[in-house]
């Protein structure tokens, strides 16, 4: 019996079977035992982990970096409870987000990536995004664990270096209070490396303002400072180390000085708040006192004002500075032994003025209010006036000078010919006023009203103002003779402006005195005296305006008339009094109208109406009667005629009924008139007759209801009849006498 021992290293996991076979040249009698095997089970896993990043070759503070962790089971068995631990250094990295394969979870607070079971040949990944917030070397390691023994690598590490630096600079001065010119100042500049990396090529720029500071010397702890360029070359600064520079200067300028030191490095400096440092120092100047001496004067005078300047201790100050006297600026006034004199022109009346010393690079400014006696100034006024006529607008040029002949610039009221002009501005002593000539004159008074600064003045100046021409427009209403119509007169000057004046006016030969035109308009009540197609209107003029006449078209016509004829109901053979009335269309009586009367074809003559427009004629009454009244018209009324027919009463009873008329009028114009007049015999015999059988053409006559009993009426009729019979003879005599008078017999 022989024995063979073989020692091996397990190179895989899972079930491992090893078989030994025996062979011989001879026949093996024990044929069933020619091989043997041994089987073992290896529970180890082969799970790898790899961690990489996308960081650049030269990453910087603030960059975003993604870590990618890859875990893979190379088999041949499952890896169980696979866990990766990846702690993020929160002092240098800031977690943003992550992405893990399905069915796996990652907790950024603990850094644990829980994978669970991983089957053979299965691969999972985890991506973590972070922001760089630290400097120097940044190392991150991912570790993996499994329930089984892992024969592969147990961790994976990723490294990169952030070469940025954290450099700060602080500059201070040995004083922060105000300093005087000539004082020395020490500036101290401290540059510190606050990070873990070395800063190289460190330079500081600090330029001294040579207009306000004079460089004395400097002392750097590292490197060298060049005062001409203001550059301090430091070189390298190791972590947690500082470099210091002191600079000594003397104040030579005014006001204040601002000095700033800036630091630069080869690397990116992440210190955004302290890359530069500024110091501001204010310079003080000496205080002074000023007093003045001001002579009295009037507006327009020039006076010399003496200024006296002293320091805080009462010593005279010799310097050059600007001075302001009541708003007037005097530049570069020189004070010698503390005294300066300025010439001041008085422009306003006042009892005090403000004088200011404006200061300079050595002395503070100061001012004071000082009493003065500045009074009103006298002025002279010259006037130039253009010729013109009433209604013209002329330019009046006013020239105003003070007592020294200098032009006066001011604002004041001015009066010209009694017209007030307010707030007239004089520029270079001249003002131009637009004056409307209102009267024909050879002189005019002009006054400068004065103001707070100048006395008033005035004078009378010769002018050539003549009468103005006018234009007359007339508007006349239509009307008939005897009507009163409004005539509207519109009066304008030669420039078309309304003329307001009072003057006499004639219309158709009628004079109207003292007619007032308001806004160029006057209205006259004119009574039409004749039928005309034109009329002459005259503006008679006055002291200021020339006269003008104008003939205008009108429509003045004659009036139409009506004739009424009234004859009482009269018995045939008796006399009746006919009443003829002449009226216009408005019902107004027309007195003194000449009419011709024809009775039954026979002319009774021409008659003139009385004051009531009536003619009363005693006429004989026949069975059938016709009265024709003819009016031939006159200068005022159109012609017309009227025909009236009536019947006499054939009954034995008479009555005083008035019959109607049959109006048949023909209106026409006829200038033919007979100037005959009749004696107005008003012999009206009123007869009462209850029998109305005597009708009149063109009328309906009805009995009037009286309410009296029939017996009483009969008795009354008998009485009346007796009276009529008794007076019959007398009536006939009167009729005969009346007709003799009418017909001229």
pLDDT tens sequence across 105-129: 999 999 999 999 999 999 999 999 9
Burial of 469 (0-12, 13-18, 19+ CB in 10 A): middle
Q: Which CA distances in Å does 254 have to 281, 321, 360, 732?
A: 11, 14, 8, 145
> Tokens at residue 562, please?
């009506």
Peptide bond preceding 96 in cis form (omega within 30 of 0): no
Contact status, residue 279 vs residue 171, Cβ threshold 8 Å: yes
CATH 1.10.357.10 given to domain 289-375: no
Give 736's DSSP letter. H
Torsion, CA 220, CA 226, CA 232, CA 235, rounded to 10 = -90
As annotated, the residues of the chain forming the CATH 2.60.40.1930 domain(s) are 289-375, 380-466, 471-557
As annotated, the residues of the chain forming the CATH 2.60.40.1530 domain(s) are 167-284
Mean pLDDT of the region 85-113: 95
Fold held by 471-557: Immunoglobulin-like (2.60.40)
Lowest mean pLDDT among 294-303, 435-444, 582-591, 726-735: 726-735
> Residue 164 — very low, low, confident or very high, per pLDDT cuts 50/70/90?
very high
Given this model, what pLDDT does residue 200 score?
A: 96
Mean pLDDT of the region 292-298: 96
The candidate with the shortest Cα–Cα distance to 46, out of 154, 202, 156, is 154
Mean pLDDT of the region 502-520: 96
Contact partners, residue 744, CB within 8 Å, separation at least 6: 605
Given this model, what pLDDT does residue 719 score?
A: 52
> Tokens at residue 685, please?
């015999």
Distance CA 667, CA 558 (A): 11
What does the pLDDT look like over 67-78, one tens digit per residue?
A: 999 999 998 999
Given this model, what pLDDT does residue 660 score?
A: 38
Given this model, what pLDDT does residue 254 score?
A: 73
What does the pLDDT look like over 384-432, one tens digit per residue?
A: 999 999 999 999 999 999 999 999 999 999 999 999 999 999 999 999 9
The candidate with the shortest Cα–Cα distance to 166, out of 198, 140, 143, is 198
Mean pLDDT of the region 50-61: 93
> Tokens at residue 61, please?
């503070």
Given this model, what pLDDT does residue 10 score?
A: 59
Contact status, residue 481 vs residue 637, Cβ threshold 8 Å: yes
Given this model, what pLDDT does residue 721 score?
A: 58
Contact status, residue 89 vs residue 83, Cβ threshold 8 Å: no
As annotated, the residues of the chain forming the CATH 2.60.40.740 domain(s) are 47-162
Q: Which CATH number fits domain 561-647: 3.40.50.261, 3.40.640.10, 2.60.40.10, 2.60.40.420?
A: 2.60.40.10
Using the structure block, give the residue that is written with the tokens 């004051």.
611
Lowest mean pLDDT among 279-283, 358-362, 648-652: 648-652
As annotated, the residues of the chain forming the CATH 2.60.40.10 domain(s) are 561-647
3-class secondary structure, 735: helix
Fold held by 47-162: Immunoglobulin-like (2.60.40)
Please give the distance of CA 145 from its chain centroid, rounded to a whole number: 84
Architecture of domain 167-284: Sandwich (2.60)
Distance CA 231, CA 530 (A): 119
Contact status, residue 489 vs residue 521, Cβ threshold 8 Å: yes
Instruction: Please provide the distance, in angstroms rounded to a whole number, between the alpha carbons at the two ends of the chain.
Output: 218
Contact partners, residue 34, CB within 8 Å, separation at least 6: 21, 22, 23, 28
What does the pLDDT look like over 227-270, one tens digit per residue?
A: 999 999 999 999 999 999 999 999 887 778 899 999 999 999 99
Mean pLDDT of the region 321-333: 97
Distance CA 565, CA 353 (A): 104
Neighbours of 231 (CB within 10 A): 16
The values of phi and psi at residue 440, to 5°, are: -80, 110
Q: Is 453 left (phi over 0), alpha (psi -120 to 50) or beta?
A: alpha
Given this model, what pLDDT does residue 39 score?
A: 62
Fold held by 380-466: Immunoglobulin-like (2.60.40)
For the cut 90, the answer to whether the pLDDT of residue 282 exceeds it is no
> Tokens at residue 725, please?
């019979």
Any bridge partners for residue 228, and if so which? Answer: none
What does the pLDDT look like over 190-233, one tens digit per residue?
A: 999 999 999 999 999 999 999 999 999 999 999 999 999 999 99
pTM of the model: 0.42
Burial of 112 (0-12, 13-18, 19+ CB in 10 A): middle
């Amino acid at each position: 019996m022989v024995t063979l021992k073989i020692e091996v290293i397990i190179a895989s996991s899972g079930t491992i079977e090893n078989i030994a076979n025996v062979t011989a040249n001879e026949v093996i009698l024990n044929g069933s035992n020619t091989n043997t095997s041994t089987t073992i089970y290896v529970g180890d896993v082969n799970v790898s982990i790899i961690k990489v990043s996308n960081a650049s070759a030269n990453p910087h503070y603030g960059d975003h970096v993604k870590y990618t962790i890859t875990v893979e089971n190379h088999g041949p068995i499952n890896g169980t409870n696979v866990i990766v631990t990846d702690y993020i250094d929160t002092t240098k990295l800031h977690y943003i987000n992550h992405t893990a394969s399905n069915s796996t979870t990652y907790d950024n607070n603990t850094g644990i990536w829980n994978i669970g079971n991983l089957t053979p040949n299965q691969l999972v990944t985890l991506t973590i995004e972070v922001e760089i917030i630290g400097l120097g070397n940044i190392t991150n390691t991912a570790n993996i664990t499994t329930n089984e023994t892992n024969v592969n690598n147990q961790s994976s590490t990723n490294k990169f270096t952030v070469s940025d630096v954290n450099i700060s600079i602080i500059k201070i001065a040995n004083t922060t209070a105000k300093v005087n010119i000539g004082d020395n100042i020490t500036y101290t500049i401290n540059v510190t490396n606050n990070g873990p990396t070395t800063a190289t090529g460190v330079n500081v720029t600090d330029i001294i303002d040579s207009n306000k500071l004079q460089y004395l010397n400097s002392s750097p702890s590292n490197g060298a400072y060049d005062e001409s360029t203001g550059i301090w070359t430091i070189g390298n600064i190791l972590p947690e180390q500082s470099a210091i520079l002191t600079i000594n200067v003397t104040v030579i300028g005014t006001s204040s000085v601002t000095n700033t030191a800036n630091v630069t490095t080869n690397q990116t400096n992440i210190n955004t708040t302290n890359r530069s440092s500024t110091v501001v120092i204010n310079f003080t100047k000496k205080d002074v006192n000023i007093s003045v001496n001001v002579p009295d004067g009037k507006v327009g005078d020039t006076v010399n004002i003496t200024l006296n300047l002293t320091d805080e201790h009462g010593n005279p100050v010799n310097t050059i500075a600007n001075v302001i006297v009541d708003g007037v600026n005097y530049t570069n006034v020189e004070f010698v032994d503390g005294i300066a004199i300025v010439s001041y022109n008085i422009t306003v009346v006042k009892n005090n003025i403000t004088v200011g010393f404006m200061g300079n690079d050595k002395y503070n400014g100061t001012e004071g209010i000082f009493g003065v006696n500045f009074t009103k100034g006298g002025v002279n006024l010259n006037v130039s006036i253009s010729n013109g006529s009433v209604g013209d607008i002329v330019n009046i040029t006013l020239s105003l000078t003070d007592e020294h002949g200098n032009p006066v610039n001011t604002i004041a009221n001015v009066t010209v010919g009694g017209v007030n002009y307010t707030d007239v501005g004089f520029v270079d002593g001249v003002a131009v006023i637009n004056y409307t000539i209102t009267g024909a004159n050879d002189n005019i008074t002009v006054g400068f009203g004065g103001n707070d600064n100048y006395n008033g003045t005035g004078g009378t100046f010769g002018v050539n103002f003549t009468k103005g021409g006018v234009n007359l427009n007339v508007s006349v209403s239509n009307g008939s003779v005897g009507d009163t119509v409004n005539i509207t007169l519109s009066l304008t000057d030669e420039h078309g402006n309304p003329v307001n004046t009072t003057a006499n006016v004639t219309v158709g030969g009628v004079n109207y005195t003292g007619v007032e035109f308001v806004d160029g308009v006057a209205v006259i009540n004119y009574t039409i005296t004749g039928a005309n197609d034109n009329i002459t209107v005259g503006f008679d003029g006055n002291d200021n305006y020339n006269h003008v006449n104008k003939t205008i078209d009108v429509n003045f016509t004659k009036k139409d008339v009506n004739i009424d004829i009234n004859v009482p109901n009269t018995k045939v053979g008796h006399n009746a009094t006919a009443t003829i009335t002449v009226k216009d269309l408005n019902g107004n009586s027309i007195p003194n109208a000449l009419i011709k009367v024809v009775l039954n074809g026979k002319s009774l003559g021409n008659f003139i109406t009385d004051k009531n427009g009536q003619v009363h004629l005693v006429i004989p009454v026949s069975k059938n009667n016709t009265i024709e009244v003819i009016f031939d018209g006159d200068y005022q009324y159109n012609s017309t005629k009227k025909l009236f027919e009536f019947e006499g009463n054939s009954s034995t009873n008479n009555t005083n009924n008035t019959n109607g008329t049959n109006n048949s009028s023909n209106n026409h114009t006829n200038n033919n008139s007979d100037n005959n007049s009749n004696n107005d015999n008003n012999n009206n015999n009123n007869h009462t007759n209850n029998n109305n059988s005597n009708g009149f053409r063109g009328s309906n006559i009805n009995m009037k209801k009286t309410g009296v009993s029939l017996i009483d009426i009969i008795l009354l009729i008998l009485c009346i009849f007796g009276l009529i019979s008794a007076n019959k003879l007398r009536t006939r005599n009167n009729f005969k006498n009346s007709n003799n008078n009418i017909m001229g017999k």
